[in-house]
Amino acid sequence: MARASLEAIRDAAPAVLPSLLLCDFGDLKGEVAKLHDAGARVLHLDVMDGHFVPNMTYAMPIVSGLRRHTDMPLDVHLMISDPLKYAGPMVDAGADMLTFHVEAVRDAAETAARIRDLGVSVGVALNPETPLGSLRECLANVDMVLVMSVEAGFGGQKFNPIALEKLQTLRSEFPDLLLQIDGGIDATTIGPARAAGCDLFVVGSAIFKKGDYKAAISTLDDQIRSHGPPNDPDSNDLGVGN
């Protein structure tokens, strides 16, 4: 399962990942259908526990409900204090990739290895003020790094450009590692993130606060293409990274 879902995510990149935090939870099936029709290929779920971050969202029942309505990979971002406690139930509910925060665990390498043993892909996330050095011990055990461009916990925060520096460093040192960004991603910030080497772009307000999901995702995709790194077949000759 892990290999197939990881390849599906890699094949989708560069890609916009709608963050379902702002979707209509009274009509999950309809929202998933609209996102699929709009061109989404991977869905992002933000799980918060009210402890690691000062907000609470949803847990396994929502993951399970989504799994019944789509075969798109479910990228589950665990903004929680004890990711290993809930990793198994999340996998059972249908998660394809689990991302934990390096700030939440004592041993990131062991955490990543134990999540991988559950048969899913593994991501590790870090907040804007957390140094990249905190990831070194676990990078051999993860498939993706999620660079937060806002402090984890709430949507609608201002984009922190320190994320671009981290993406550039990671892309230079680990050319095959999947890189994701989350926080304040819209039509003005997604291009620079792509130019910095990012593959996956978590987007909330810039999709769900628009009336037309397809038009919103298309606008974001246009910015991704126009800012692609050098030699990227999805970029054009005017890209900032060219």
Which residues are known to be catalytic?
Answer: 46, 182
46 is in an annotated binding site: yes
235 is in an annotated binding site: no
Contact 124, 108 (CB under 8 A): yes
154 is in an annotated binding site: yes
Q: Residue 2 corresponds to which amino acid?
A: A
37 is in an annotated binding site: no
197 is in an annotated binding site: no
Sign of CA dihedral 40, 33, 115, 156: positive
227 is in an annotated binding site: no
Residue whose token pair is 């590692």: 177
204 is in an annotated binding site: yes
133 is in an annotated binding site: no
Cα–Cα distance, 73 to 82 (Å, whole number) = 23
**Spatial CB neighbours of 161, under 8 Å, sequence gap ≥ 6:** 149, 192
183 is in an annotated binding site: yes
Cα–Cα distance, 231 to 154 (Å, whole number) = 36
Residue whose token pair is 């559950």: 118
Cα–Cα distance, 227 to 230 (Å, whole number) = 9
36 is in an annotated binding site: no
CA R_g for the chain: 16
Q: Where are the alpha helices (DSSP H) in the chain?
A: 2-12, 28-37, 60-69, 83-93, 108-116, 162-173, 190-195, 205-208, 213-226
Cα–Cα distance, 133 to 161 (Å, whole number) = 18
First to last CA, the chain: 36
Q: Residue 213 corresponds to which amino acid?
A: Y
77 is in an annotated binding site: yes
Q: Which residues are annotated as a binding site for a divalent metal cation?
A: 44, 46, 77, 182
Q: Which residues are annotated as a binding site for substrate?
A: 19, 77, 153-156, 182-184, 204-205
